[in-house]
């Protein structure tokens, strides 16, 4: 079975793809941090962050339709907040919308969540879609992210699709025997499937570890890939980080 990898556009060629993963990681995390710490009642810094995201997205030559689809992951969270807005009692004038009314404070919360979520998630999508996963993990390691985290992430990336395949095969075998998991009493069958998936994964983990030990693995991952930051990497990192932080700091001074 074929799957969409989270880094399926990471082999495109563009100025953004060519950058060192460390430069991209630092610059985009700077935008995220600046964004999530900016107070919601000033809107123009958000315009700066959004502009940065749009500029990078445009330079990366990623299809916009792809970016938009990926951004939908934040929709449920924003939706939950949106549903709650009429029940929030915030400051400011109240707007009557017929059956319910909303306060300006409530809308501000919605705007806050939506803007921050969208910008942060776009940054992460840009990072993961313009960098091959392996390079990204190496980049994080070079930034002294503990190897434990990068290793767990790398294994997850490698094996999640195998687990999805296994689940899919189980589901097919189950459905060919005319199972319709619609009712509450079917929950037992689903529970068994989850349990058996868990056991299979654990057994696989055991075998993977054996195969690694057979090749002399002793608990520490060897490294050998060395990359260097060049002028464009420094420039990208400097300009993006500086712009994002400038937007954030000006708000602070006012």
Partner 1 sequence: MIPFAREYAISITDLEYSYPDGTKALRGVDLKIRRNETVAIMGPNGAGKSTLALHFNGILTGSSGKVEVMGIEVNKKNMRKVRDIVGLVFQDPDDQLFSPTVREDVAFGPLNQRLSPERVDHAVSRALAWVGMEGSEQRSPHHMSFGEKKRISVATVLAMDPEVLVMDEPVANMDPRGRRAFLELIKVLEGTKIIVTHDLGMARELCDRVVLMDKGLIVADGRPSATLSDEVLLEKHGLI
The residues binding partner 1 (CB under 8 A) are 5, 132-134, 137, 154-155, 157-159, 161-162, 204, 207-208, 210-218, 222-224
Helix axes 231-253, 44-60, angle to 10 degrees: 170
Cβ atoms of 59 and 12 closer than 8 Å: no
Give the closest residue to 21 by CA, choosing from 125, 142, 121: 142
Q: Provide the minimum distance between the beta carbon of 217 and partner 1 in the complex, in angstroms, as a whole number.
A: 6
Q: Provide the minimum distance between the beta carbon of 173 and partner 1 in the complex, in angstroms, as a whole number.
A: 18
Q: Provide the minimum distance between the beta carbon of 221 and partner 1 in the complex, in angstroms, as a whole number.
A: 8
Residue 221 makes CB contacts below 8 A (sequence gap 6+) with 147, 151
Residue 196 makes CB contacts below 8 A (sequence gap 6+) with 170
d(CA 223, CA 144): 13
40 or 142: CB nearest partner 1: 142
Q: Provide the minimum distance between the beta carbon of 21 and partner 1 in the complex, in angstroms, as a whole number.
A: 13
50 or 162: CB nearest partner 1: 162
How many CA atoms are closer than 13 Å to the CA of 176, on its beta-carbon side?
5
The alpha carbon of 189 is separated from its chain's Cα centroid by a whole number of angstroms, namely: 32
Q: Provide the minimum distance between the beta carbon of 208 and partner 1 in the complex, in angstroms, as a whole number.
A: 5
113 or 154: CB nearest partner 1: 154
10 or 243: CB nearest partner 1: 10
Give the 3-state secondary structure of residue 97: strand
42 or 212: CB nearest partner 1: 212
């Amino acid at each position: 079975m074929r799957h969409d990898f989270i880094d399926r556009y990471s082999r495109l060629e563009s100025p953004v793809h060519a950058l060192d993963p460390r430069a991209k990681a630092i610059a985009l995390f700077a935008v995220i941090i600046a964004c999530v710490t900016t107070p919601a009642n000033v809107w123009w810094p958000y315009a700066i962050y959004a502009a940065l995201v749009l500029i990078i997205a445009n330079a990366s030559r990623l299809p916009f339709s792809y970016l938009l689809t990926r951004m939908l992951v934040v929709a449920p969270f924003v939706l939950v907040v949106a549903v709650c807005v009429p029940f929030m009692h915030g400051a400011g004038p109240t707007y009557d919308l017929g059956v319910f009314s909303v306060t300006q404070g409530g809308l501000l919360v919605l705007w806050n969540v939506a803007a921050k979520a969208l910008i942060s998630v776009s940054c992460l999508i840009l990072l993961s879609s313009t960098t091959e996963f392996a390079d990204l993990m190496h980049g994080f390691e070079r930034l002294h992210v503990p190897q434990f985290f990068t290793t767990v992430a790398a294994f997850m990336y490698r094996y999640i699709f195998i687990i999805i395949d296994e689940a899919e095969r189980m589901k097919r075998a189950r459905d060919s025997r005319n199972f319709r998991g619609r009712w509450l009493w079917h929950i037992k069958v689903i529970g068994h499937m989850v349990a058996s998936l868990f056991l299979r994964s654990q057994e696989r983990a055991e075998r993977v570890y054996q195969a690694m030990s057979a090749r002399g693995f002793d608990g520490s991952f060897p490294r050998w890939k060395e990359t260097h930051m060049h002028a464009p990497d420094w420039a990208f990192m400097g300009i993006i980080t500086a712009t994002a932080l400038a937007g954030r700091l000006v708000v602070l001074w006012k």
